[in-house]
Amino acid sequence: MIDVNKQGEVWVFAEHHEGTLEETSIELLSKGRQLADQLKVPLAAALAGNGVEELCVRLGQYGADKVYLAEHPLLKRYQASSYAKAMCGLIVKHKPQIVLYGATPVGRDLAPRIASAMKAGLTADCTDLQIGRHEIKSTGQTFENLLLQIRPAFGGNIIATIINYDRWPQMATVREGVMPMPEPVGTRKAKVIREATDLTPSDLLVEILSEHRQQKKVNLKSSRIIVAGGAGVGSRENFKLVWDLANCLGGAAGATRAAVDLGFIDRDHQVGQTGTTVRPSLYIAIGLSGAIQHQAGMAASQKIIAINNDPDAPIFNIAHYKIVGDLNEVAPKMIKAIREKA
Amino acid sequence: MGYNCIVLVKQVPDTKRITGQAMNEDGTVNRAALPAIFNPEDLNALEMALEIKEKYGGKVTVITMGLPTAAEVLRQSLYRGADGVILLTDRRCAASDTLATSYILSCAVAKLNPDIVLCGRQAIDGDTAQVGPQTAEKLGFPQITYVEQLLSLTGKTLTAKRNLGNGWQEVKTSLPALLTVIDTANEPRVPSARRLMKYKGAKCRLEVEAAAKTDPSIDVESTCKGLEKRGLLIRQWDLDTVGADFGLVRARWVAD
Ligand SMILES: Cc1cc2nc3c(=O)[nH]c(=O)nc-3n(C[C@H](O)[C@H](O)[C@H](O)COP(=O)(O)OP(=O)(O)OC[C@H]3O[C@@H](n4cnc5c(N)ncnc54)[C@H](O)[C@@H]3O)c2cc1C
C-alpha cells in the first residue's frame, strides 16, 4: 500500500508480445490521458521487458508523457512473479495514484499478484473509468477526485461502481475493446526514464517450455454462418451458448450493441450500423430484438433464423424461420442435435 | 508418497437464473433469492485434484470460506471423492474483499502444508479471477493460471498447459504451486451414489446449532460427538484457528 497522494501520476501497464504493444494498452493510454488531464497530473506508461526501448516511441505517440522503462534479461518473457516484482519496485518508488492494466490473460494474471504484494485494491474487468467524488454516508467523510471503477457484476446483471479511497494505488484491469483507440501523433514524444531492476533467477518461479499465440482476428465479414446473441442471452457466461452453436456449425459469433455494452462479448463482434455489416448464408439471431440499427448490418443475410420468446419481436419480421421460445431451452437443443448428427 | 492437494471452492448465487424477483429496488442483487450452487470452475479444479490423487496417490482436502450454508458445497465435494473438507467461517469475514479473502485462505492453506493448491479460474458472482493469484502471492507460491491440462508430475516438478484464449503455453514449476483451472480442463464427475449415501448426513457444528434452535430435542454436544465418531462432522475453522489477524481482514471497499 502506498500513501494516498493526489499528485501521483496515472499509469498504464504497457503489455507487449514479441516486440509489439498489445492493443488494449494503447486503448488504455487514451482513457489514461483523459483521467490524467482531469486530475492535472502526468500520464506515464510502465514498460518492463528486455530490449523493448523502441516501444517508448509509440507509447509517446499514443499519449504517454513519460515511460518508466525497466529492462532486465530476466524480464525477457512475461511471467507473474518477476514482472510483479519489477512493477512493485516502480510503484513504491514513484507512487502513482492510478495504475491500469488490460484485462488480458497477462493483465489478469499479473495485476492481482501486484495488488496482493502491495496490499492495494484492484477492480477486475472494468468497462468504464471516471473521476468523481464519494461520500461515506455513515461518517459524512467525502473524497474528491477518486477513480470510479465501473464494471458489470453478477454475471452482467448489475453495474457496480467500485472505489478505493485508502488502499492505493487505485488499480483496475480494463476489458479489451471498450475504450476507443487513440490516433497516434507523430510529433509527440515521451520522456524515457530508465529504472534499475534488481532481479535474480530465483524470482522466476516458472519456466516457460513452449508458447503459441494465435492471431485472434474475428472475421465476421468472411463467415458463411453467423450466430449472433443479444441482451436476452443474459450474461457473458451464458454467451457460451452462442459460441457453442457457432463453433459446432463452423461459424462466427456476432452480437448486438446491447450485448457488447453489457460486456457479454468483445466489441469486434458487433453487427449493425455501428458495427460490421454482414451478409452470410445463414444468420441465427438469439435473444435479440432486431432493432433497426442491428438490422442495418444483417438484413441482407440469405437465411435468417430467429429465436426469441417475444412473438412480437421485430426480428421476426425479417426472419425466414421463427422460433418463439426461451433461448435457454432452444439453443442447447440445437447444439445437441447438431453435435449428434456430426 | 502421493500429493497433498488442497482445493479452494466457493458457493455462489446462480447468476444465470437472475430474474426480476432477485433484484432489489435500488438495483442491487438480493442474493438470498437466488439458488446457491457450486461455482462451476471450482468443480473443474476439484476434478483435477481427484485425478491427481487417483493417478499418483495422496489426498484431497477441500476448503470453502463462507456462511454455514456453504457446507453444502463441502458435502458435494465429499460425494465426489474429497478426503477431507473444511468450512472457514467467521462473522468477522463478512463482506471480505478479494485481498482479505486471499489472506484468510492463505493462512488456512499454510496450515495444511500442501503440494498443490487448485482453484477455479474465477467465480461467476464476481468474475474477478483475483483470489487465486493473490493467495499464491501471499504464500510465496508460483501461480499457474488458466490451466487446461496437467501434463506431468514427477517428484516436486509439475508441468501444465495454459489456455490463454489467444494461444497456449506450456510451463514447468516446482511444488508447492497454485493452479487456477478453466472449464475446458475436464468434465467434472457427478456425485457417486455410494458416497452420497455415506456423507449426506455430514454437518458442521453451526448447522447443528441452527437445527437445535428450531428443534429443542437436539443436543448440540452429543450430536456433534456422534457425527464426529462416524466421520461426518465437517471441520470448522475461524480466523483464530487459522491465525489470521483481524486488523488485516477488515474490508474497506465500498460498492454502490
Ligand atoms: C446511433 C445508434 C447506433 C446503433 N448501432 C447499433 C449496431 O451497430 N448494432 C446493434 O446491434 N445495435 C445498435 N444500436 C442499438 C440498437 O438500437 C438496440 O438498442 C440494440 O440492437 C438492442 O440489442 P438487443 O436486441 O440485444 O437487446 P434488446 O432490444 O433488449 O432485445 C433483447 C431481446 O431478447 C429477447 N429475450 C430475452 N430473454 C429471452 C429468452 N430467455 N429467450 C429468448 N429471447 C429472449 C427479448 O424478447 C428481446 O427481444 C444502435 C443504436 C443507436 C442509437
* Residue A235: how many other CB atoms lie within 10 Å: 20
Query: Which residue has better confidence, B32 or A87?
Result: A87
For residue A293, how far is its CA from the centre of ligand 1 (angstroms)? Answer: 9
Give distance in angstroms: CA of A243 to centre of ligand 1. Answer: 18
Q: Which amino acid is at A235?
A: S
| pLDDT tens-place string over residues B75-112 | 999 999 999 999 999 988 776 788 888 999 999 999 99
- Classify residue A17: in a domain, yes or no: yes
Average pLDDT value for chain B: 90
Ligand 1 is surrounded, with C-beta below 6 A, by: A 230-232, 256-259, 270-275, 287-289, 291, 293-294, 297, 307-310, 313, 326-328
Q: Which residues contact B183 (CB under 8 A, 6 or more apart)?
A: B40, B41, B44, B121
| pLDDT, averaged across chain A | 91
Within chain A, residue ranges assigned H as helices are 23-39, 55-61, 80-94, 105-118, 240-249, 257-261, 292-295, 327-341
Nearest CA to ligand 1 atom 27: A231
- pLDDT classification of B252: cutoffs 50, 70, 90: very low
Residues A177 and A304 in one domain: no
User: A287 alpha carbon to ligand 1 midpoint, in Å?
Assistant: 8
Residues A171, A303, single domain; the answer is: no
How far does A161 lie from chain B, in Å, by closest CA? 6
Spatial distance between the Cα atoms of A250 and A199, rounded to a whole number of angstroms: 46
* Nearest chain A Cα distance for residue B54, angstroms: 25
pLDDT at residue A160 in the model: 84
Distance of alpha carbon A143 from its chain centroid, rounded? 27
| DSSP category for residue A276 | B
- Together in a domain, A57 and A182: yes
Rounded to two decimals, the ipTM of the complex is 0.91
- Please state the rounded mean pLDDT for residues B56-67: 96
Whether residues A68 and A159 fall in one domain? yes
Q: Are A120 and A169 in contact (CB under 8 A)?
A: yes
A174 falls within a domain: yes
Burial class (CB in 10 A: 0-12, 13-18, 19+), B193: exposed
* Distance in Å, CA A256 to ligand 1 centroid: 6
Residue of A149, A53, A157 lying closest to B16 (CA atoms) = A157
3-state SS assignment for residue A38: helix
CATH at residue A40:
3.40.50.620
Domain that residue A288 falls in: 220-341
Ligand 1 pocket test: pick from A242, A245, A257 the residue with the most ligand atoms within 8 Å of its Cβ. Answer: A257
pLDDT at B255 over 60: no
Q: Is residue A243 part of a domain?
A: yes
A116 and B102: CB-CB below 8 Å?
A: yes
pLDDT digits (tens, 9 = 90+) for B153-198: 999 999 999 998 778 999 999 999 999 999 999 999 999 999 999 9
In degrees rounded to 5, what are phi and psi of residue B80? -90, -10
Residues of chain A in contact with residue B135, where contact means CB-CB under 8 angstroms, are 116
Per the CB < 8 Å rule, is A158 touching B29? yes
Write out chain B residues lying below 8 Å of A238, CB-based: 16
* Helix (DSSP H) and strand (DSSP E) numbers for chain B: 9, 13
Closest Cβ opposite residue A237 in set B16, B142, B255: B16
Boundary of a domain, candidates A147, A177, A203: A203
Query: Same domain, yes or no, for A183 and A318?
Result: no
* Contacts for A97 with CB less than 8 Å, ≥ 6 apart: A4, A5, A6, A7, A8, A9, A10, A39, A41, A147, A168, A169, A170
DSSP character string of A159-171: EEEEE-SSSBSEE
Tell me if B73 sits within 8 A of B38, measured CB to CB: yes
Q: What integer pLDDT is reported at residue A191 of this predicted model?
A: 97
Verify that A27 and A175 share a domain, yes or no.
Answer: yes
Q: Identify whether A2 is part of a domain.
A: no
Task: Report the pLDDT value the prediction gives residue A152, as an integer from 0 to 100.
Answer: 77
Contact B253 A134 (CB under 8 A): no
- The pTM of this model reads 0.76
Statement to judge: residues A47 and A196 lie in one domain: yes
Q: What grid cell was written down for B135?
A: 493467495
pLDDT at A75: 97
Are A113 and B129 an interchain contact pair (Cβ–Cβ within 8 Å)?
A: no
Mark whether A296 and A173 lie in a shared domain.
no
Q: Does residue A68 belong to any structural domain of this protein?
A: yes
Distance from CA of A28 to the nearest CA of B (A): 19
Same domain, A193 and A337: no
pLDDT the model gives residue B234? 97
Q: Considering A168, A203, A238, which residue would you say is the last residue of a domain? A: A203
Which chain B residues have a beta carbon less than 8 Å from that of A111?
130
pLDDT for res B121:
94
Nearest alpha carbon to residue B67 among B93, B102, B43: B93
pLDDT at A199 over 70: yes
Q: Give the confidence band of A213 by pLDDT, cuts at 50, 70, 90.
A: confident
Q: What is the CATH number of domain B3-255?
A: 3.40.50.620
> Which single residue is written with the C-alpha cell 435473444?
A287
Taking a C-beta distance cutoff of 8 angstroms, is the pair B58, B114 a contact?
no
Cβ contact B137–A117 (<8 Å): yes
Residue A167 has pLDDT above 80, yes or no: yes
Asked, for residue A4, whether it belongs to a domain, the answer is: no
Cell (9 digits) for A30: 487514451
On chain A, the residues whose CB falls within 8 A of the CB of B127 are 124-125, 153, 155, 236
Q: Domain segments of chain B: what residues?
A: 3-255
Mutate to test the interface with B, among A22, A149, A168, A205 (most CBs of B within 10 A): A205
Residue of A84, A112, A154 with shortest CB distance to B130: A112
Instruction: Please identify, by atom number, the ligand 1 atom nearest to the C-alpha of residue A273.
Output: 8
Answer yes or no: do B255 and A162 touch at CB < 8 A.
yes
Looking at the domain assignment, is residue A215 inside a domain?
no
A84 to B137: CB separation less than 8 angstroms, yes or no:
yes
From chain A, pick out residues whose CB is under 8 angstroms from the CB of B173.
Answer: 205-207
Three-state DSSP string of B211-227: HHHHCCCCCHHHHHHHH
Does residue A331 sit within a domain?
yes
CB B85 within 8 A of CB B241: no
In whole angstroms, how large is the CA radius of gyration of chain B? 18
Domain C-terminal end among A203, A230, A246: A203
For residue A324, count other CB atoms closer than 10 A to its CB.
14
> Which chain A residues are within 8 Å of B41, Cβ to Cβ?
none
Convert the pLDDT of each residue in B143-153 to its tens digit: 999 999 999 99
* Spatial contact of B242 and B103, defined as CB atoms under 8 Å apart: no
pLDDT for res B251: 43
Residue B16, pLDDT > 60, answer: yes
CA of B30 vs chain A CAs: smallest distance (Å): 11
Q: Which residue of B has its CA nearest to A82?
A: B142
Q: Are residues A44 and A146 in the same domain?
A: yes
CA–CA separation, A221 and A284 (whole Å): 15
Name the residue type at position B113: N
Range with the poorest average pLDDT among A306-320, B63-77, B99-113, B124-138? B124-138
Provide the CATH number for the domain around residue A308: 3.40.50.1220
What is the number of structural domains in chain A? 2
Residue type, B121: R
Statement to judge: residues A194 and A330 lie in one domain:
no
User: Within chain B, where are the H helices?
Assistant: 40-56, 71-80, 98-112, 131-139, 193-199, 205-214, 220-229, 239-242, 246-249
- Kindly report the nearest CA distance between residue B173 and chain A, in angstroms: 5
Mutate to test the interface with A, among B145, B149, B152 (most CBs of A within 10 A): B145
pLDDT per residue as tens digits for the range A83-118: 999 999 999 999 999 999 999 999 999 999 999 999
- pLDDT of residue A204 exceeding 50: yes
d(CA A94, CA A42): 12
Same-domain check for residues A54 and A141: yes
Q: Is A252 exposed, middle or buried (0-12, 13-18, 19+ CB in 10 A)?
A: buried
Considering only A150-164, A302-316, B110-124, B168-182, which range has the smallest mean pLDDT?
A: A150-164
